Amino acid sequence: MWPGESLLYVLRERFGLPGSKNACEQGECGSCTVYLDGTAVCACLVAAGQAAGRDVRTVEGLAPEGELDPVQRAFLQTGAVQCGFCTPGLIVSVHDLLARVPHPSDPEIREALAGNLCRCTGYEKIMDAVRLAAAGSVNAGAAGLGGPAGAERAGS
């Protein structure tokens, strides 16, 4: 690994974790949002060398293998996935928001998602997903999608 490679490149190409998407490479779209030492960051803006020895968690690591995190289930239940390209970054951002603010207001949700672009949904279904996850009303029956390993997480 060359220390100047982006964390996003290393996650996708070297570690085989395709959930975080490569879109703008400028930190503008949020499709590559991951946790770095518990803080949500755009992986395209972090040099891999800066992440060495630190805790990195991607959308693939939000739930145990073969299961979905409540935020992922909420996105599925509300149909907030559309094309799915922005979904991983949105899910990590929502996960981060709910960890900090368990019952956010709509303005707090909009602020938390301001760094995530979605060109398909108009954000209403995404807002519905956040409200559902915050209310704890997610249908546990949507816990797994079936199919091959790794395909069982929304936004992979």
Residue 151, domain member (yes or no)? no
Residue 153, domain member (yes or no)? no
Choose among 133, 2, 114: nearest CA to 62: 133
Q: Are 80 and 55 contained in the same domain? A: no
Q: Are 56 and 74 contained in the same domain? A: no
Domain count of the fold of the chain? 2
SS3 15: coil
The tens place of each residue's pLDDT in the chain, 156 residues long, gives: 777 899 999 999 999 999 999 999 999 999 999 999 999 999 999 999 999 999 999 999 999 999 999 999 999 999 999 899 999 999 999 999 999 999 999 999 999 999 999 988 789 999 999 999 999 988 765 544 443 333 333 343
User: What is the Cα–Cα distance from 106 to 47, expressed in whole angstroms?
Assistant: 33
Could you tell me if residue 75 is left (phi over 0), alpha (psi between -120 and 50 degrees) or otherwise beta?
Answer: alpha
- pTM assigned to the model: 0.86
Residue 93, domain member (yes or no)? yes
Return the amino acid letter for 135.
A
Residue 81, domain member (yes or no)? yes
Angle, CA of 153, 155 and 156, to the nearest 5°: 65
Domain range for 51 is 7-61
C-alpha 3: how far from its chain's center?
24
CATH number where 120 lies? 1.10.150.120
